[in-house]
Amino acid sequence: MTTSSAPGKVYLFGEHAVVYGEPAVPCAVGRRASVTVEERDDDRLRVEAEDLSLDGFAITYGDDLEEADVNVPADLVEAATGYVDGAVAQARDAADAPDAGFNVSIESAIPLGAGLGSSAAVAVAGIDAATRELGVELDREELADRAYQVEYEVQEGQASRADTFCSTMGGAVRVEGDDCRRIDDAPELPFVVGYDGGAGNTGELVATVRDLRETYGFAADTVEAIGDVVRTGEHALREGDVEEVGRLMNFNHGLLSALGVSSRSLDTMVWAARDAGADGAKLTGAGGGGCIVALDETEGVETALNYTPGCEETFRAELDTEGVRVE
């Protein structure tokens, strides 16, 4: 039996634009998904995901998921198991063990679909645990690439390398197309996360941006402008200028709002954080609902968000420099 965990992430800058080759800077945060894997005597999978959805479920299946008998909506099962299936397929390939079966248990402190990289963390931790269970240890570059392949397939070609690379490596990272690297001189950042209890549909939101970009030249310019914000923000981050990073986060949120991926709840939380003195605040992830991230060293933002209508949960998060690890 092998357990690996991987962190979630917040975006300082660059979500959505990274899909079109612009740079992005996500940061790993100290909320993790843990995946425990035990090899079976047959080629079937049993997945227990008590914390991955509101209801939780346990399911055993072979090649055909429709054979499974579980009292959970089919779309939720497919979403939750898609990343597990992909992780298992990558582990089987890496270990040259095409018929390996597993019992898989997932525990996650990362809200599903909230923009904090839950799927990437599950894919990274799942591949790492399953390959180790089969006696193979992947280097981090290969692990990150295999986890990206999982997200790319599940998200029908709309994924970037940002989430999976960040979850694998930890810390602050810069991703531009296939060029992925850690920002080793990033300062400590006082993250405060607000969560509205919901989740946006990543596929629909990515499609919304794609349609706008293809229809309007100024929307394509907006995507490029996000890339310019990222480049400026990366410089400020390397210089340790947290106030400038915050100002650029505010700018980034405005551009994302213009592309139609924010929401009333996210905007309300962003403005509550700014009014409480945050250096900067923006949505993180696909948008449409989920989480915002703010920078604030005081207790002001956390207190303000606790009293903001529509904010269901608030927590502080430290930069997680470790990335994936064996538990």
Handedness of CA 213, 218, 224, 229 (dihedral sign): negative
Sheet order of strands, 280-283 included? 280-283, 291-295, 191-195, 313-317
For 181, 234, 325, the CA distances from 169, given in Å and listed in that order, are 9, 18, 10
* Residues 257 and 205 sit within 8 Å (Cβ to Cβ): no
Concatenate the DSSP letters of all residues of 58-88 into one string. Answer: EEEESS-GGG---SS-HHHHHHHHHHHHHHH
Q: Which residues contact 95 (CB under 8 A, 6 or more apart)?
A: 131, 134, 135, 136
* Residues 267 and 281 sit within 8 Å (Cβ to Cβ): no
Q: How far apart are CA 313 and CA 323, in angstroms?
A: 24
Handedness of CA 39, 42, 43, 47 (dihedral sign): negative
Indicate if 163 belongs to the active site. Answer: yes
What is the phi-psi region of residue 82: left when phi exceeds 0, alpha when psi lies from -120 to 50, beta otherwise?
Answer: alpha
State the catalytic residue, choosing from 163, 196, 296, 320. 163
Amino acid at 100: A
Nearest to 257 by CA among 301, 306, 193, 208: 208
* Residues 285 and 117 sit within 8 Å (Cβ to Cβ): yes
List residues with catalytic annotation.
163
